[in-house]
Amino acid sequence: MKKSPAIIVPKKKKKRLGVLFILLPVILLLVLVPLACAAVYFYFSYNLPRLSSLNDYRPPLVTEVYSRSGELIGEFFIERRYFVKLSNVSPVFIKAIVAAEDAQFFEHKGLNYWSISRAAFKNLLSLEMKQGGSTITQQITKSLLLTPEKSLARKIKEAILAKRIETSLTKNDILALYLNQIYFGLGAYGVESAARTYFGKSAAQLNLSEAALLAGLPKAPSLYSPFRNMERARQRQSYVLERMLEQKYITAQEKQEAEKAPLHMKLQENINLTQSPYFTEFVRQTIEKKYGSKAVYEDGLRIETTLDTAMERAAQEAIQTGLEEYEKREKTVHDPVKAQAALVCMDPFSGNILAMVGGRDFSNTQFNRAVQAQRQPGSAFKPLIYAAALDKGYTPASIIVDSPVTFKISRNKVWEPKNYDETYLGPITLRKALTLSRNVATVKILQDIGISYAIAYAKNFGITTALNRDLSLALGTANLSLLDLVQAYAVFCAHGVRVEPCAITRIVDRDGNVLEENVPQLRQAVNPQTAYLMTSLLQSVVEEGTGKKVSAINRPCAGKTGTTNDFRDAWFIGFTPQLVTGAWVGYDDNRSLGKRETGGAVAAPIWLKFMQKVLKDEPVKMFEVPEGIVFVKINPETGYLPNTATEETIFECFKEGTTPMPYFNSAQEQ
């Protein structure tokens, strides 16, 4: 059989094929690896979140509430974080955090390949993702842009984003993000919050010892907390100081001094409970209703309010003292059910709420009795009936017969209103009827002017609550809040002008944009002459009537007491030419305060103590008399001008054109 001829490959061609077989894998490697890397990059970078500037950084920030003098009085937050510029952070803290978390931060471009290799080797040995070798930039991407899961996919995304951030932001920008984002424990997010929480100071005020301790916390905030284990916290502090020494940020002597330096820890108090809790909560509810809860808890608003902190403290003290005196008097000191009290002070001309206390202890109950409680005002409502009468033809000298009266309610039911002392004075002037708070006389006035007219008139004072359409309205049987009554009495003080109560003057967002700026909302409720006549009538209540206890203020003052059936509610609403204030005392379960615990006995002392304190250094002012008011002498028994020179007389004020005529009886006419 004939064999096929053998194929003979030339030696040169053999050499070329050998080289090709050697180079092919290398070529494939050089081509495929970049392609694979590119594929991985595009796969994991697809649809990644973007952070191209500091303006894109919008973390939840603390909403802060300030008094009218700029004092911080409240905070609302989910994460306690205050955004701080890098220039407002202590330089020594910046060095401490860099040394502790990423010593090569200023040299690398987002990734520290040596740290990554070291972490990868340890993870390979343990077959777990235990270490990450993350730089500060990578920590930002994990915290701001990615989920905290430990996986290779997340690490790849983290690396891609870190490189992107390094190309779009400066190192200082990255540090600013990091220092505002990291968690330090105890609810403190960011370095400013941490400095306040642990040391009661700003981030700019941190010294080396404090900075090193705080810089050691992000690693494990709970583990290294100085409030849980000071020894362990000190050990971590020493580690940070050692790292700072290695980086030549500090000297050996500075390290030793910092380790020995005393740490004055000052855990941040809950300012919402210690300053003006009822007012602050009132503000929170107002803002949340208007802007939503996200704005309140995350948007870092600056809320500027009308609160006067000195007045607020005076109100808290007055309530505490007043309730203690009541409890000693009634021997209820050890009673588990405590009487409550509320106080509101308002500027009658601007509507600014200067003080608001809604109870004796906010930590025990957050129910705000100054605005949320709807209680019967009793005789404290009478001034609105008398004001309505003055605009219906009555004068302070009008005669009302204080005598028993019976009203038929239904076929088998009658109503017989009675005076507090169950006595009757017969014919008396309108001034005397209000001064002595005569119930029957007030009911007769309401019957004469008309219930519908009185209800419509009350709306001029800002009363929006539905009022009962029966004659008991004269005795204050409608349910109103303390703020309602304070607003109403402010009309008398402000020459008949009604102003809406205001707690917030300005709201600014995190970018400095003004969301709202409030100015007084004014409208003429009644004419100035009616307002003055009512002020004069209410001065008589203080000088010689049921509110006589507050005459100890020793300056012009007007007001009215209020007491409901069975002494369930005690009120005093009063004003000076500068301020209008209301005080209420009662039990939440509507039980009796005790026999003879009237508005004059329980609420007036609280009002007096408060007003004496806040007006102590204020000049004494007189109530202004508007044009259209005249003063003439009248007989206080008849309400008429005197007929003889020997008659007892007093000066009475009237609107021009309403002064009475001389009194002539039938005997004189003959």
**Active site residues per annotation:** 101, 379
Q: Which residues contact 108 (CB under 8 A, 6 or more apart)?
A: 135
Q: Which of 232, 290, 229, 226 is nearest to 264 (CA)?
A: 226
Instruction: Give bridge partners of residue 516 from the DSSP assignment.
Output: 507
Cα–Cα distance between 142 and 62 in angstroms, integer? 22
Cα–Cα distance between 378 and 598 in angstroms, integer? 10
Which residue do the tokens 């392609």 mark? 35
Q: Which of 485, 599, 621, 476 is nearest to 549 (CA)?
A: 599
Give the alpha-carbon dihedral of 220, 225, 231, 234, to 10 degrees.
70
Characterize the bridge pairing of strands 302-305 and 504-508.
antiparallel
- Residues 397/634, Cβ–Cβ less than 8 Å: yes
**Side chain identity, residue 494:** A
CA distance to 100, 350, 454, 607, per residue, from 509 (Å): 34, 24, 44, 37
Cα–Cα distance between 371 and 348 in angstroms, integer? 17
Cα–Cα distance between 642 and 633 in angstroms, integer? 7
- Residues 635/641, Cβ–Cβ less than 8 Å: yes
Characterize the bridge pairing of strands 580-586 and 504-508.
unpaired
- In terms of residues, how long is the chain? 670
Q: What's the gap between Cα 612 and its chain centre? A: 26
**Side chain identity, residue 203:** A
CA angle 419, 422, 424 (to 5 degrees): 75
CA angle 169, 170, 173 (to 5 degrees): 80
Structure-token pair, residue 225: 């907390």
| Beta carbons within 10 angstroms of residue 160's beta carbon | 18
CA distance to 120, 358, 563, per residue, from 127 (Å): 10, 61, 78
CA distance to 341, 566, 599, 664, per residue, from 323 (Å): 8, 19, 13, 53
